Copies of this chain bind each other. A is one copy, B any other.
């Protein structure tokens, strides 16, 4: 239902922009209909598919390279939380009419840089025109030793709850994108504003934590829809609850400044989403080894509370022991 053209135009697009990303031998140079993947003996494949859509997960005017990176990174974040090592990805790309070559080149350049950085080459995929916004749908694959994927469902009462990095930056960055004047109201320094904007634009998949999580965590998931709601999902899958000390939840200087200026920023940080950090649970005797491995990995991890008997929703307490009630636990499309 799109216009006809010489069949080779699509092939030329793929050859020019995407073949350089297809370094995996199973990609067959993107010259076949399908790719081949043979997990090493004794390994399971961990599979994840997530799409990002213009006007929903990114702004259409975002740099194309950042869009390419984000599309891959949101999937890599899941692989990291599951303790998996990336091996490759499939790409379904839907491009609006009038997409320029320069956009595509920038998109592929960003995606290629991350494919190399994270050792996750392109295996195959397809490209289409769309009457709608750009959509980048990625299916990413990783490996774990057989039976080694870290589930959501393994948390038990007494476990400590950890998160990586800092929470809330991306949600606050999105707020700044929608209302540039808010940076003035929040009295943000330019570098603080830029920090929040950057955290929204391109997340940081915590692959360096993948092995420490696989070796030590009882349960883990990535924080993509808000810490409060994602922790509730983890607790629900595990049949437990959690007591979180909100003062312990790690915040960037920029997020602290927003919250100092606007108390509602705290709830926003805890429930806003797009963090792409990892929340995981750890038996008491595992915590030292996990923290040492995390330190060696260069990714900060912070203990924020304990798993308790369920099945109530996790409670977030302030410094006075009061339980905070959130209007919404997390982001949802529906």
A residues with a Cβ closer than 8 A to B are: 1-2, 4-11, 13, 26, 28, 31-39, 41, 43-51, 53, 55-57, 59, 78-79, 81-82, 84, 90-92, 94, 123-133, 135, 137, 139, 141, 146, 149, 151-153, 174, 221-222, 225-226, 229, 232-233, 237, 328-334
- Please, how many angstroms separate the alpha-carbon atoms of A152 and B34 in the complex? 10
Partner of A44, one of B9, B38, B152: B38
Residue of A11, A78, A135 most packed against chain B (CB within 10 A): A135
A32 with B153, Cβ < 8 A, contacts A50-B92, A329-B6 known: yes
Flag if A56 contacts B128 (CB, 8 Å). Answer: yes
Flag if B31 contacts A237 (CB, 8 Å). Answer: yes
- Please, how many angstroms separate the alpha-carbon atoms of A332 and B183 in the complex? 46
- Please, how many angstroms separate the alpha-carbon atoms of A140 and B275 in the complex? 29
Flag if A47 contacts B57 (CB, 8 Å). Answer: no
Chain B residue nearest in CB terms to A14: B334
User: What's the nearest-Cβ distance from chain B to residue A228, in Å?
Assistant: 9
Chain B residue nearest in CB terms to A82: B34
Main secondary structure of the interface of A (DSSP, over half): mixed
Residues of chain B within 8 A (CB-CB) of A39 are: 38-39, 45
Can you list 19 residue pairs at the A/B interface with Cβ under 8 Å?
A: A6-B329, A6-B332, A7-B328, A10-B332, A13-B334, A28-B151, A32-B152, A33-B48, A34-B78, A36-B149, A38-B45, A38-B146, A49-B90, A53-B128, A56-B131, A57-B128, A92-B137, A130-B133, A135-B135
- Please, how many angstroms separate the alpha-carbon atoms of A11 and B274 in the complex? 18
Residues of chain B within 8 A (CB-CB) of A13 are: 334
Flag if B34 contacts A149 (CB, 8 Å). Answer: yes
A226 with B7, Cβ < 8 A, contacts A50-B92, A132-B132 known: yes
Partner of A46, one of B4, B34, B221: B34
A126 with B51, Cβ < 8 A, contacts A139-B90, A152-B31 known: yes
User: What's the nearest-Cβ distance from chain B to residue A263, in Å?
Assistant: 19
Chain B residue nearest in CB terms to A140: B34
A47 with B53, Cβ < 8 A, contacts A128-B333, A237-B31 known: no
Flag if B48 contacts A45 (CB, 8 Å). Answer: no
Residue of A59, A222, A225, A233 most packed against chain B (CB within 10 A): A233
User: What's the nearest-Cβ distance from chain B to residue A54, in Å?
Assistant: 8
- Please, how many angstroms separate the alpha-carbon atoms of A312 and B222 in the complex? 52
Partner of A333, one of B129, B141, B221: B129
Residue of A53, A133, A334 most packed against chain B (CB within 10 A): A334
Flag if A328 contacts B56 (CB, 8 Å). Answer: no
Chain B residue nearest in CB terms to A149: B36
